Structure 1
Amino acid sequence: MDNFCCFSSQAGGRSSCGSGKGRSQLGPVKYGFSLVKGRANHPMEDYHVAKFVQIQGRELGLFAIFDGHLGDSVPAYLQKHLFSNILKEVCPYSLHCWLVYHMIIVDYSLSVLHEVHGDVARVNGQLAVSRAFGDKNLKSHLRSDPDVTNASIEAETDVLILASDGLWKVMSNQEAVDIARKIKDPQKGAKQLVMEALHRESKDDISCIVVRFMG
């Protein structure tokens, strides 16, 4: 079961929060996610993607969390367009051609700046990010070109964690890994990480995806 959740502002309504899970059709990989709105007086601004797609006879896992800071227009746009447009460019090439894939990711990420704006407004130590889509007038502080890393999934690789800063503000990488590794069900693992962030009094929106490569 693939899951693709969208959060949007509804007049007089409350922002949705929830969780879900899915798994690969061709291998043992499973994922789960959990999302909770923070205490700030604005709609949920975290968007995510968690699903598997079939491309060129292979299965590709797409996982991302987009964290808005002055509204949800930018993360909503990225959720809808980022992966689909990157994959449109990748399809004429082999998925194994990492150099081409890398260039397409960077080029498309930069092109998004011409489509969206108004996201990031706080810098100089007040916003814990090193990359951001958003206002061009802040590019002297925050870059939009992504760090792209090619990491092999080895036999001993067991878990991948993606989360918004609602979790990372109150938890170290190792603390998150220690929690997720103890729970085989990735959805339960994601929920536990979110609950731990709440226990540590995180006030921001909290979104977490856990991907397990081993049973």
Structure 2
Amino acid sequence: MLGISWNRQWINYVVLSLHTLSSDLGHGGSTAVTAILIDGRKLWIANVGDSRAVLSRKGQAAQMTIDHEPNTERGSIETSGGFVSNFPGDVPRVNGQLAVSRAFGDKSLKLHLRSDPDVLTTDIDVDTEILILASDGLWKVMANQEAVDIAQRMKDPQKAAKQLTAEAIKRDSKDDISCVVVKFR
């Protein structure tokens, strides 16, 4: 059985490895959400930035990750010499540029951003139906429960992910849209 410290170390290793490679990847950056199922019973989820994991139990959406927004991590940004802008009509941004407080890459903001993931674990039981992993392009235009409701109507998880993506585009999402749907049982 894998212990908490090993899992956290492994996830941090993966994120830090990507962070180390960032000089070879250019000036952009990314957020991420990932999940691993251990023995069909224990679900581990990690996220950096505003990509999100939502789990459905008995049809009810439960947000499993925290969106890393500049206002919520203002202290660490300012301690590292950065600032959070709040211009009218816009979202809070790190140094007036990035709308998340954690990411990997983003060379010009590296001093002010964290890249360590939040990690959580939950048990999978007979009530667990669906896991949705998606980028903010979906979540900016769709509530967690709406996404679960759409995914539940479809038997095939790949078709459900495509439907969620198509719906986000239809709703005029202006951000990148990535989506994975996992159906349990």
The answer to whether TM tops 0.5 is yes
Shift of 1:111: 3.9
Shift of 1:126: 5.6
Q: Which residue of 1 aligns with 2:182?
A: 211
Indicate if the aligned counterparts of 1:179 and 1:193 stay in contact, CA closer than 8 A.
yes
Pairwise CA RMSD: 2.5
- Paired residues in the alignment total 120
Matches within 5 A, 1:123-134: 123=94, 127-134=98-105
Q: Which residue of 1 aligns with 2:86?
A: none
Indicate if the aligned counterparts of 1:167 and 1:207 stay in contact, CA closer than 8 A.
yes
Q: Which moved more, 1:194-203 or 1:126-135?
A: 126-135
Matched, 1:153 2:59: no
Indicate if the aligned counterparts of 1:120 and 1:132 stay in contact, CA closer than 8 A.
yes
Classify the secondary structure of the residue corresponding to 1:166: helix
Q: Which residue of 2 aligns with 1:119?
A: 28
The verdict on how the C-alpha distance between 1:100 and 1:189 changes in structure 2, with shifts beyond 3 A counting, is: same
Q: TM-score when scaled to structure 1?
A: 0.49
One-letter code aligned to 1:102: R
Q: TM-score when scaled to structure 2?
A: 0.56
Task: Please identify which structure carries the higher strand content.
Answer: 2
Q: Which runs of 5+ in 1 are unaligned?
A: 1-94
Indicate if the aligned counterparts of 1:128 and 1:165 stay in contact, CA closer than 8 A.
no
Q: Which residue of 2 aligns with 1:202?
A: 173
Mapped partners of 2:129, 2:111: distance in 1: 38
The verdict on how the C-alpha distance between 1:146 and 1:163 changes in structure 2, with shifts beyond 3 A counting, is: same
Structure with higher RCO (Cα < 8 A, 6+ apart):
1
Identity percentage of aligned residues: 60
Indicate if the aligned counterparts of 1:161 and 1:209 stay in contact, CA closer than 8 A.
yes
One-letter code aligned to 2:174: K
Classify the secondary structure of the residue corresponding to 1:115: helix
Q: Which residue of 1 aligns with 2:16?
A: 110
Shift of 1:137: 4.8
Mapped partners of 1:165, 1:125: distance in 2: 19
One-letter code aligned to 2:154: I
Shift of 1:179: 1.2
Q: Which residue of 2 aligns with 1:25?
A: none
Instruction: Provide runs of 4+ in structure 1 moved above 6 Å.
Output: none
